[in-house]
Amino acid sequence: MPENVMLKITEAVGFPSIFTLRKTCHDYRNFIDDKTPNINLTGIFIHVHPKRMYLYYDISGKKRILILYNSHPDGCVINHKSHEMFLRNEDFISLFLKDFELFIKHQKSTLEQFHFYSGCLTNEEEFHHFISPIFARTEKILKSRPRPLRVKEFKMSAFRQEHVMSILPILDANLLTNISMDHTDYGAFEKNDTVIKLNEITELPQWKNVTNLDISHLYVTEPVEKFLGFTKVTIWKKSVSGNDLLSIKKKFLSPNNQTEEFTICYQVFVNSQILGDCITAECGNQDWYYQTDQYNKILAISKTNWCNTLAVSFIERSDVPENAVLLA
């Protein structure tokens, strides 16, 4: 049978049948490894745990599927689609990485989502010691591809910039639209007030090309001006000033503005009076409304006290409270 016909047939059966066929005979295994048929996944989701690894994958039109790699005193137990397999003297992380490498090798189409979670590791040193080798191997696997992995939405939980830098720079900068980063555990974040440096990340083309950014439960130290090039933004800062909001307001009202929503969660808000008098004071919250060059388009800045959040966005004039004063 001609190779191009075999390739079309192999890709048509889809994943995971491709990897099942790979095990049928030596020649077919060599063919699949040489021709690398596309498995056409739409999402890959990795969850790291000290005793197990979760590898979820999405196929268009189907329910999300899990491959679970469980540590066992004598090896590893793998669960996949209600099938369980015990592999003696095998390490669960090594087996996960082998499968992940096959996924990445055969994934040629664009992933809608690629997420890397590690929410069970709350201690930074424990996290760094355990997961750094996994990040190093993941980075090597991604770099082995002939071209960058095509991803639209990238999410990752981390403590340090270096963890993010092991994956983000290797993704296709031309297709990435969403970047999300968060702490591995909210309780540990509240206790330690974790700060993440972004000086290397902000220089990446992936950062400069993306439209939506969400950094939650990690305090950033960069000035707000570093975050004004996105369509939708959520960041956490220890301290926010009225001058910071004036910078955001100026950007929103500029002729070349592309930003639609800008949200900041904070510990301290200083010099809020620089924006003008309090318009609505219910529950201590504050709202400011500014006219724009479009009559029905109003710029709203809202401060919500119970969750220490500042939100800037455009609203319709009809959504402005009747008792509010429109500022110039």
Mean pLDDT of 302-317: 91
Q: Is pLDDT of 113 > 50?
A: yes
Residue 251 lies in a domain: yes
What pLDDT score was predicted for residue 158? 81
Query: Which structural domain range is residue 200 located in?
Result: 3-269
* pLDDT above 70 coverage of the chain, percent: 80
- Please give the C-alpha separations between residue 193 and each of 122, 267, 305, 318, in angstroms, as whole numbers: 13, 10, 19, 40
What pLDDT score was predicted for residue 287? 86
Pair of tokens at residue 310: 């500042």
User: Total structural domains in the chain?
Assistant: 1
Residue 319 lies in a domain: no
Three-class SS state of 55: strand
Residue 280 lies in a domain: no
Q: Where is pLDDT greater, at 280 or 239?
A: 239
Residue 189 lies in a domain: yes
Residue 305 lies in a domain: no
Q: Where is pLDDT greater, at 100 or 269?
A: 100
Residue 294 lies in a domain: no
Tens digit of each residue's pLDDT (9 = 90 or more) over 234-276: 999 999 988 898 899 999 999 889 999 999 999 888 876 666 6
What pLDDT score was predicted for residue 81? 87
Residue 109 lies in a domain: yes
Residue 168 lies in a domain: yes
Dihedral pair phi/psi, residue 315, rounded to 5°: -130, 170
Written as one string, the DSSP assignment of 259-286 is: --EEEEEEEEEE-GGGG-S-S--GGG-E
What pLDDT score was predicted for residue 43? 97
